[in-house]
Chain A
Amino acid sequence: MSRRQIAATAVLVCLALFPFAGVAFYTELVAKVMILAIFAMSLDLLVGFTGLVSFGHAAYFGIGAYALGLMAPKYEAANLWLTLPAAVLAAGLAALAAGAFVVRAKGIYFIMVTLAFAQMFYFVFHDTSFGGGSDGISINVKPVASIGGFMPFDLSSATQSYFFVFTLMVLVFIFLRILLRSAFGKALQGIRSNEHRMLSLGFPVYRYKLASFTLAGALAGLAGYLSALQFGFVNPEMISWHQSGDVLLMLILGGSGTLYGGIAGAFGFVALQELFQSVTSHWQLLLGGTIILLVIFLPGGLASAGGHLKRVLVGDTIDD
């Protein structure tokens, strides 16, 4: 096993054992971070592997969340196996529709157009009553995982809910790893590296970008659904540009183009947030400053920290 595999295994074991550490509050917090990790990994598919910097990725996170909010009956439990795929599908379709326009734009224009679409979605939910306006929607009863009466797990239990999120995070990671090794994934990385040459080699670049945008949106929708499930409410803030900015910061913090950087970034971001919030009410200033310093001194993000640390401790060696 390589060092990286050992580190990954250690992290997985820690996460799997965490709910048994006996700190209930942190179980929910870590579950929240893992949801954000799914969100950040979905953005990494765009930013780190297709070269599309989206500043409106929260739109699809929010649509996944709202899908549950709108589908859940007021006094009964929604069925997980129906609402979860429906939420992922809704977010994917929204990304497909928006993507058909935005992936035509390049560079800074792409950033602005993704933001514009996200703001459009934001105001649709904020200024109309069908999604509860600025108050959003409460999900009074958590969805159940019932299959014809049989209940494999209970989402109202914080521990079981934690393992559900944990499993999905691992599955999303594995899915993206496989995807990125496939012909499709290689083509996306080619587009990030040299879009012009991809065209002249015969790749229909527009379709590849659109597929990537749609898939990233669908996975963000999964994260949004899980977030709505965990917290029991949805509101327009989930779609706001703050949320889009936060997930982009997580990715920058963790290191884009690595997948596990999204996970590291989500943990790092929330840890810094919690730490600074406990110290001062001006925590955002500290968080921003810390991120700037990290970008300057650790341009590869937290994902590259291991290699740097090794170089500092044992001198220059060839990184495996």
Chain B
Amino acid sequence: MTDPVLRTQGLSRRFGGLVAASDVELDLHRGRLHALLGPNGAGKSTLINLLSGDLAATSGSIKFKGNDITRFSADRRSRLGIGRSYQKTNIFTAFTAFENCRLAAQSRAPRALRVLGDALGFQPTCDAAHHALEAAGLAGRAGDIAATLSHGEQRQLEIAMVLATAPDVLLLDEPLAGMGAEEVGRMVALLQKLTPGHAILLVEHDMDAVFAVADVITVMVEGQVLESGPPAQIRGSAAVRQAYLGDGADT
């Protein structure tokens, strides 16, 4: 078995008296899609925020390729190769879809502080942006202002931007939320295509999609990991059924 790309040990986050994430142990491996399930408020988004650096951990550690990154800022983690998407669409609404992705790709370009060359003249960055748009199924909307895209297309753009940064780890916070059936099908296919080359953590409420693409599933309840294992194990787990699936608490 290969070493995990990303590993958390005893990772916790408190908000005053509330423990949003408690003692989370999680390994993400390249080539595996790791899905995170749990009812609302289980701490899934908190965990993604802890991994991406949007939130600082109260205790515990995060290791990326063996190096401790627990105290690294969000932008530094991103440059290391940890990319994330947001549950609430977080794009540059006034820019074109292409410029959204070009800017994302630019963060990886050498000489990012070039002050005199035309940014649009730097071909590798533009190519990366076009590839990302195409992968996310937005090639036809490259020139459109992001604000004019449909909700589903903005979700696709959200993913395209992460892809444009060419990350090793993908942290995807409900990428399918608000997408139509056709877009969900395309996104599931994209996730399957991305899995071999990436370590993916997927938070998603669409059970059909999760069980279709996940290699490993972790179920969280009230900030804690309830159970972790292959999809078949989770499907058969009495504890999971009781805590989550069986309650009809699905949102």
Size bracket of the A interface: 20 to 34
Q: In the complex, A200 Cα to B104 Cα: how many Å?
A: 9
Question: Is A181 an interface residue when CB atoms closer than 8 A count as contact?
Answer: yes
Contact A187 B90 (CB under 8 A): no
Q: Which of A184, A185, A196 has the most chain B CB atoms closer than 10 A to its own CB?
A: A184
Q: Chain B's nearest CB lies how many Å from the CB of A271?
A: 31
Pick the contact of A204 from B75, B118, B119, B161 — CB < 8 Å? B75
Pick the contact of B112 from A183, A194, A199 — CB < 8 Å? A183
Chain B residue at minimum C-beta to C-beta distance from A189: B95
Contact B112 A187 (CB under 8 A): yes
Question: Is A182 an interface residue when CB atoms closer than 8 A count as contact?
Answer: yes
Q: Chain A's nearest CB lies how many Å from the CB of B109?
A: 7
For A183, list chain B residues within 8 Å (CB): 106, 109, 111-114, 117, 119, 122, 125
Q: Chain B's nearest CB lies how many Å from the CB of A127?
A: 38
Chain A residue at minimum C-beta to C-beta distance from B52: A200
Q: Chain A's nearest CB lies how many Å from the CB of B229?
A: 30
Q: Chain A's nearest CB lies how many Å from the CB of B73?
A: 8
For B113, list chain A residues within 8 Å (CB): 183-184, 211
Q: Chain A's nearest CB lies how many Å from the CB of B111?
A: 8
Question: Is B116 an interface residue when CB atoms closer than 8 A count as contact?
Answer: yes
Q: In the complex, A196 Cα to B106 Cα: how many Å?
A: 16
Q: Chain A's nearest CB lies how many Å from the CB of B113?
A: 6
CB proximity to A under 8 Å, residues B88-141: 90-95, 99, 102-104, 106-109, 111-120, 122, 125
Contact A200 B75 (CB under 8 A): yes
Q: In the complex, A74 Cα to B199 Cα: how many Å?
A: 70
Chain B residue at minimum C-beta to C-beta distance from A194: B92
Question: Is A190 an interface residue when CB atoms closer than 8 A count as contact?
Answer: yes
Question: Is A11 an interface residue when CB atoms closer than 8 A count as contact?
Answer: no
Given A183-B109, A186-B103: A193 and B95 interface contact (C-beta under 8 Å): yes
Pick the contact of A184 from B91, B93, B102, B115 — CB < 8 Å? B115
For A211, list chain B residues within 8 Å (CB): 113
Total residue contacts A-B, CB cutoff 8 A: 90
For B107, list chain A residues within 8 Å (CB): 201-203
Chain A residue at minimum C-beta to C-beta distance from B112: A183
CB proximity to A under 8 Å, residues B30-83: 52, 54, 73-76, 78-79
Q: Chain B's nearest CB lies how many Å from the CB of A255?
A: 16
Q: In the complex, A181 Cα to B75 Cα: how many Å?
A: 23
Size bracket of the B interface: 35 or more
Question: Is B165 an interface residue when CB atoms closer than 8 A count as contact?
Answer: yes
For B54, list chain A residues within 8 Å (CB): 200
Contact B84 A200 (CB under 8 A): yes
Contact A186 B119 (CB under 8 A): yes
For B161, list chain A residues within 8 Å (CB): 197, 201
For A185, list chain B residues within 8 Å (CB): 115, 119
CB proximity to B under 8 Å, residues A182-235: 182-187, 189-190, 193-194, 196-205, 211
Pick the contact of A182 from B73, B90, B92, B119 — CB < 8 Å? B119
Contact B118 A202 (CB under 8 A): no
Contact B165 A197 (CB under 8 A): no
Question: Is A1 an interface residue when CB atoms closer than 8 A count as contact?
Answer: no
Contact A201 B90 (CB under 8 A): no
Contact A199 B75 (CB under 8 A): yes
For B90, list chain A residues within 8 Å (CB): 194, 196-197, 200
CB proximity to A under 8 Å, residues B7-48: none
Q: Chain A's nearest CB lies how many Å from the CB of B93?
A: 7
Question: Is A120 an interface residue when CB atoms closer than 8 A count as contact?
Answer: no
Q: In the complex, A205 Cα to B106 Cα: how many Å?
A: 13
For B120, list chain A residues within 8 Å (CB): 181
Q: In the complex, A147 Cα to B90 Cα: how many Å?
A: 55
Contact B103 A202 (CB under 8 A): no
Q: What would 5 more interface pairs be, CB under 8 Å, given A197-B161, A203-B75?
A: A181-B118, A181-B119, A183-B119, A200-B86, A202-B76
Residues of A within 8 A of B (CB): 178-179, 181-187, 189-190, 193-194, 196-205, 211
Interface pairs (26), CB distance under 8 Å: A179-B115, A181-B120, A182-B116, A182-B118, A182-B119, A183-B111, A183-B114, A183-B119, A183-B122, A184-B113, A184-B114, A186-B99, A186-B102, A187-B103, A189-B95, A194-B90, A197-B86, A197-B161, A199-B75, A201-B78, A201-B103, A202-B75, A202-B78, A202-B108, A202-B165, A211-B113
